[in-house]
């Protein structure tokens, strides 16, 4: 009786262990695809819809019986992953820009202060000194304003990427019986082309950060 009880307990333990291993593998597989990147809180708010759309598109391509979707599944998922990576890079760069701007939050006030000091200078040497400082701060302000423009551009391009992902997901999910697989595939390819955004803004942002 005791032996039978031990066997039953052993079977239960082995069953739990096997289930745990299977669950862990599934979680690792999901995490490999969807690791949450390190972003600021407000960048996470911009990122989450992109992440959700990306996962939704992957689920549609994996479950679809549409011949065009099945034929395009691998390239669709790769393009979506590339778009996702560009969004993450853009948001991380955006966070770096915002941090850089915080370090120069008083630059506008400094420009105004130096302008007044230059106007009130009593000697040519003093005026020249204030002029050089004023010009330096003015150049800094120009970079500050450029960074703000790029941040807004990145945010707009992320919104465009979200719209493109949403459109692509709809096209993948809705089977069009009036179109043949070749036409459907071409339509999907055109939608994929609209995902190639943001990289220019990231390059611009990184140039600002290097200055």
| Helix, strand, coil percent content, the chain, rounded in steps of 5 | 85, 0, 15
Q: Are 147 and 97 in contact (CB under 8 A)?
A: yes
Q: How far apart are the first and last CA of the chain?
A: 79
Judged against a pLDDT cut of 70, whether residue 23 lies above it is answered with: no
Q: Are 91 and 43 in contact (CB under 8 A)?
A: yes
Enumerate residues 6+ apart whose C-beta is below 8 A from 140.
104, 107
User: Within a 10 A sphere around the Cβ of 196, how many other Cβ atoms?
Assistant: 13
**Nearest partner of 147 among 111, 92, 107, 101, judged by Cα:** 101
Tell me: the pLDDT tens digits for 52-74? Answer: 998 998 998 888 888 878 888 88
Tell me: the pLDDT tens digits for 136-167? Answer: 888 888 888 888 888 888 888 888 888 888 88
Is residue 176 within a helix (H) or strand (E), and if so which, with residue range?
none
User: Within a 10 A sphere around the Cβ of 28, how many other Cβ atoms?
Assistant: 10
Q: What percent of the chain has pLDDT over 90?
A: 6
Tell me: the pLDDT tens digits for 99-150? Answer: 888 767 788 888 888 888 888 888 888 888 888 988 888 888 888 888 888 8
**pLDDT averaged over every residue in the chain:** 77
Query: What values do phi and psi take at 109, rounded to 5?
Result: -65, -35
Alpha-carbon torsion (126, 127, 130, 136), positive or negative: negative
**Nearest partner of 173 among 79, 78, 62, 84, judged by Cα:** 62
Question: Which residue in the block uniquely carries the two structure tokens 């000194």?
Answer: 129
Question: Which residue in the block uniquely carries the two structure tokens 């082309």?
Answer: 193
**Nearest partner of 159 among 192, 198, 102, 124, judged by Cα:** 198
């Amino acid at each position: 009786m005791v032996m039978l009880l031990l066997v039953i307990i052993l079977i239960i333990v082995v069953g739990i262990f096997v289930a745990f291993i299977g669950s862990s593998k599934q979680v690792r597989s999901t995490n490999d695809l969807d690791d949450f990147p390190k972003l600021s809180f407000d960048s996470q708010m911009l990122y989450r819809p992109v992440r959700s759309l990306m996962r939704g598109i992957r689920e549609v391509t994996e479950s679809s019986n549409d011949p065009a979707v099945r034929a395009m599944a691998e390239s669709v998922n790769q393009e979506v992953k590339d778009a996702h990576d560009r969004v993450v890079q853009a948001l991380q760069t955006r966070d770096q820009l915002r941090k850089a701007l915080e370090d120069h939050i008083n630059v506008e006030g400094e420009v105004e202060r130096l302008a007044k000091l230059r106007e009130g200078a009593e000697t040519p040497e003093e005026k020249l000194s204030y002029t050089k400082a004023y010009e330096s701060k003015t150049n800094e302000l120009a970079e500050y304003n450029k960074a703000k423009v790029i941040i807004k551009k990145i945010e707009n391009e992320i919104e465009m990427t979200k719209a493109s992902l949403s459109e692509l997901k709809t096209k993948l999910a809705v089977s069009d019986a009036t179109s043949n697989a070749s036409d459907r595939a071409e339509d999907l390819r055109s939608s994929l082309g609209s995902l190639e955004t943001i990289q220019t803004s990231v390059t611009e942002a990184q140039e600002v950060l290097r200055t």
